Amino acid sequence: MSGHALFLLLDLVGTFVFAISGAVAAKQRNLDLFGVFVIAFVVACGGGIVRDVCIGAVPPAGLSNWRYLVAAMVAALMTIVAYPQVRRLRQPVLFFDAIGLGLFAVSGAQKALAYGHNAEVAILLGVTTAVGGGTLRDVLLARVPVILQREIYASAALLGAAIQVACEQLGLSQSWTPWAATCVCVGLRLMSLRFHWHLPTFASGNAGKPGSGQ
């Protein structure tokens, strides 16, 4: 499989699983059929659209390539039909979101490199691709975005994107490198959920005391 085909596959698989997470979240909020499809598409393609606009890949693939729309709609439809089975997964939104996070972090960083951007830009846009859709989902569903909470989320995407970019820059990239970088990102995210790992907070020492204003 060529490099272009591999990263297109990563992008489409990420689109599919992110659409599932969006559709599940929409179903949990009792949105109608149109709302489920809209949220699924926004989650699946939102981050990639932002990335493409930033790197000058216009019109964005999420809008111009029919494969992305089809992947998102098929995933949403499958979620609606098989929702009783999907919801049996423990925290299904978080599970599919973690998979999409890793896939998009790697494919987003690689696409930025392919368009001639440096390592720093590639890593940042990999993170943007990964967290953009989930952030839009949470905003549309009136939830505090995961990226603004203490959870290991953007940092997991940062690690996956950094591994992919580092391998590319050092000439160490192999056909399995994107999958390895994706697994590291997904594994870190899922382990943080399983073992309740959180980033440190820096609350005031007076927090919660009378007169502290908290």
* Selection from 117, 85, 96 nearest residue 186 by Cα: 96
Dihedral sign for Cα atoms in the order 81, 85, 95, 186: negative
pLDDT below 70 — which residues of the chain?
Answer: 1-3, 90, 202-214
pLDDT at 85: 82
What is the rounded distance in angstroms from the CA atom of residue 198 to the CA atom of residue 188?
11
Judging by beta carbons within 10 Å of its beta carbon (0-12, 13-18, 19+), is residue 41 exposed, middle or buried?
buried
Q: Tokens in use for 43?
A: 């989650």
Q: Is cis: bond before 59, omega within 30 of 0?
A: yes
Classify burial at 31, counting beta carbons within 10 Å of its beta carbon; exposed 0-12, middle 13-18, buried 19 or more: middle
Question: Does some domain include residue 101?
Answer: yes
The number of distinct structural domains making up the chain is 1
Would the pTM count as exceeding 0.85?
Answer: no
Which one, of 68, 158, 80, lies nearest residue 122 by Cα?
158
With respect to residue 203, please indicate whether it lies within any of the assigned structural domains.
Answer: no
What pLDDT is attached to residue 41? 96
Asked if the structure places residue 166 within a domain, the reply is: yes
10 within domain boundaries? yes
The sign of the CA dihedral 178, 113, 130, 69 is negative
Contacts by residues 26-34 (CB-CB < 8 Å, ≥ 24 positions apart): 26/141, 27/79, 27/80, 27/83, 28/93, 29/141, 33/80
Q: Is the distance from CB of 50 to CB of 116 less than 8 angstroms?
A: no
With tokens 């929409």, the residue in question is 26
The whole-number pLDDT of residue 90 equals: 64
Q: Is position 103 within any domain?
A: yes
Note whether residue 32 is domain-resident: yes
* Domain span holding position 108: 3-194
Model pLDDT for residues 66-113, shown as the tens digit of each residue: 999 999 999 999 999 998 888 777 677 788 888 989 999 999 999 999
Residue 207 forms part of a structural domain: no
210 inside domain: no
Give CA–CA dist 193/136, Å, rounded: 21
Helix axes 92-114, 3-28, angle to 10 degrees: 150
